[in-house]
Amino acid sequence: GAVVSQHPSWVICKSGTSVKIECRSLDFQATTMFWYRQFPKQSLMLMATSNEGSKATYEQGVEKDKFLINHASLTLSTLTVTSAHPEDSSFYICSARGRGSTNTGELFFGEGSRLTVL
């Protein structure tokens, strides 16, 4: 199957700093990438949808100025958590949909990135 890779897998930062998480599709072109946030013992909450070359579409309640998403190429999307605070600590997961899943929307997931803000 298609491979999606996230980096870093775990990051610890001080409150007030910014953190960037990368999501790469390794063997396919990802026309659309989705960023999810997963709280402990809860489901995945969709944060935003990004299409290559255009601005991301954020879900209601997600601060676009705090969670900056860039999808500059068909293989890379980045999520930057700006001025991170302890409440931003969470597990962030990206997923990608390639041209081959145009009619189905099947997603391929990265391994996730755990953010801990001290």
Partner 1 sequence: AQSVSQHNHHVILSEAASLELGCNYSYGGTVNLFWYVQYPGQHLQLLLKYFSGDPLVKGIKGFEAEFIKSKFSFNLRKPSVQWSDTAEYFCAVNARTGGFKTIFGAGTRLFVKA
Cα 49 from Cα 112, distance rounded (Å): 16
Cβ distance to partner 1 smaller for residue 27 or 106: 106
Note whether 19 and 10 are within 8 A (CB). no
Q: Are 45 and 11 in contact (CB under 8 A)?
A: no
| 41 φ/ψ sector (left φ>0, alpha ψ -120 to 50, else beta) | left
Nearer of residues 94 and 115 to partner 1, judged by Cβ: 94
Choice from 21, 23, 28, 32 touching partner 1 (CB under 8 A): 32
| 109 touching partner 1, by CB under 8 A | yes
Contact residues: partner 1, CB under 8 A: 1, 4, 32, 34, 36, 42-44, 46, 49, 93, 95, 97, 103-107, 109-112
